[in-house]
Amino acid sequence: MKLCDLYGRQINYLRISLTDRCNFNCIYCRSNGVEFLKREDILTLEEIEFLASFFHEKFGIEKVRLTGGEPFMRRGIERVIKNLAEKNLKVKITTNGFFLSKFSKFLSEYEVGVNVSLDTLDPKKFKKISGLDGFSEVMEGIDKAINDCVKLKINSVILRGVNDDEILDLVDFAWARNVEIRFIEFMPFTEVWNAYFISEDEIKAKIQEKFKIEFLEFKGTASIYTSDNGCRIGFISTVTKPFCNLCSRLRLTADGRLVLCIFDKISYPIKEFLRPYVRENELFEFVLETVRKKPKGFVEFAGEKAKFEMIKLGG
């Protein structure tokens, strides 16, 4: 059975937040005073694996992205990756890179696509953005992943007056390592959004000061360009160029709630269909019915600050 919403969008991509914990405290992600989930409310590894397989087998979900919080802070992540990959799901992960060197061999073995977040090449600025003195660990992780032939992409959130002077350096960094870089527009999740937001057009203009770039393709939610020196540069611009009509994703929070749109104000608990025992038929009907309520997207909520914390939604 295909999962479709009322706007005819087919859902084939599930983003799973493994944890709401993170060792970073990024200024664009984390609001002050976020309350952590209680341990007993968090889905067990078995429940996560069951749900991923359920969406795969019942609804033809092909791609799963593990995220968080910081997904490598979830103990047992290796067995989740192994079990999902063995079920022929395409497994991807988004990470802050701090623990990447430890896992990169394993990720390469299971052909996991990895998006590593990197917003600056300056260790001091790194601490200012992320709250942690972790630049060298992230660099080590990226180097190791490249050596281990991990399928890697870089995600950068550019913030006005913070790292907008590093756009070309970040492109050079990615080019030198033959890695695609994606500039993600800062979405309104924290109080500082107004002060720091910078648009795709401004980022692009900076890049065009040095490179000619040409549109290549849409890939998922990213528009991909190539530069005249052969770098793949993507833009994910939810704010100025929303792609909601192409959205094929569904989110599962660490405590087992479905979120239909990153800007939605409502979430739909599905853990209750798993505890104290699994009720597959009821879950099936609930998911079918719930997905029909997927909002149009950012266009519907524009101008409002998002309700959920990014750290709980998984980006």
Which residues contact ligand SAM by CB under 6 A?
Answer: 22, 28-29, 67-68, 70, 94-96, 117, 155, 157, 184, 186-187, 189, 310-311, 314-315
Exposed, middle or buried: residue 125 (CB in 10 Å: 0-12, 13-18, 19+)?
A: middle
Size of the residue set binding ligand SF4 (CB under 6 A): 12
| Spatial separation of the C-alpha atoms in residues 204 and 225, rounded to whole Å | 10
Report the distance separating Cα 9 and Cα 148, nearest Å: 37
Figure out which of the listed residues 16, 19, 24, 273 binds ligand SF4, where binding follows CB under 6 A.
Answer: 24
3-state secondary structure of 251: strand
Q: Is 52 in the site for ligand SF4 (CB under 6 A)?
A: no
CA distances in angstroms from 198 to 30, 31, 242, 274, 277, listed in the order given: 18, 19, 15, 42, 48
Does 153 sit near ligand SF4 (CB under 6 A)? no
CB of 284 to ligand SAM, least distance (A): 29
Give the dihedral sign, CA 183/220/77/74: positive
Do the beta carbons of residue 123 and residue 21 sit within 8 Å?
no
Least Å distance, CB 285 to ligand SAM, is 31
Given a contact cutoff of 8 angstroms between Cβ atoms, the answer to whether 223 and 235 are in contact is yes
- Selected from 3, 29, 158, 171, the binder of ligand SF4 by CB under 6 A is 29
Q: Is-contact 181 171, C-beta < 8 A?
A: yes
Binding of ligand SF4 at residue 311 (CB under 6 A)?
yes
Judged by CB, which is closer to ligand SAM: 34, or 278? 34
Which residue of 5, 70, 166, 200 would you call a contact of ligand SF4, by CB under 6 A? 70
Task: Say which entry of ligand SAM, ligand SF4, none residue 242 contacts (CB below 5 to 8 A, set by partner kind).
Answer: none
Asked if the peptide bond before residue 276 counts as cis, ω within 30 degrees of 0, the response is: yes
If the CB atoms of residues 72 and 235 are measured against ligand SF4, the closer one turns out to be 72
Q: Which of 17, 19, 83, 96: binder of ligand SF4 (CB under 6 A)?
A: 96
Closer residue to ligand SAM (CB): 3 or 311: 311
HEC assignment per residue over 5-17: CCCCCEECEEEEE
For ligand SF4, the closer CB: 128 or 296: 128
CA 141 to chain CA mean position, Å: 18
Comparison of 11 and 37: residue with beta carbon closer to ligand SF4: 37
The entry of ligand SF4, ligand SAM, none that residue 30 binds, CB within 5 to 8 Å by partner kind: ligand SF4
**DSSP E strand boundaries for the chain:** 3-4, 10-11, 13-19, 63-68, 90-95, 113-117, 151-157, 180-184, 213-219, 222-227, 232-236, 249-252, 257-259, 268-269
For the chain, helix, strand, coil in percent to 5 are: 35, 20, 45
Q: Does 30 bind ligand SF4 (CB under 6 A)?
A: yes
User: With respect to ligand SF4, which residue has the nearer C-beta, 115 or 290?
Assistant: 115
101 binds ligand SF4 (CB under 6 A): no
Min dist CB 25 to ligand SF4, Å, is: 6
Of 55, 40, 109, the residue nearest 78 (C-alpha): 109
Binding span for ligand SF4 by CB under 6 A among 22-30, 118-126, 242-250, 285-293 = 22-30
Q: Which residues here bind ligand SF4, judged by CB under 6 A?
A: 22, 24-26, 29-30, 68-70, 96, 130, 311
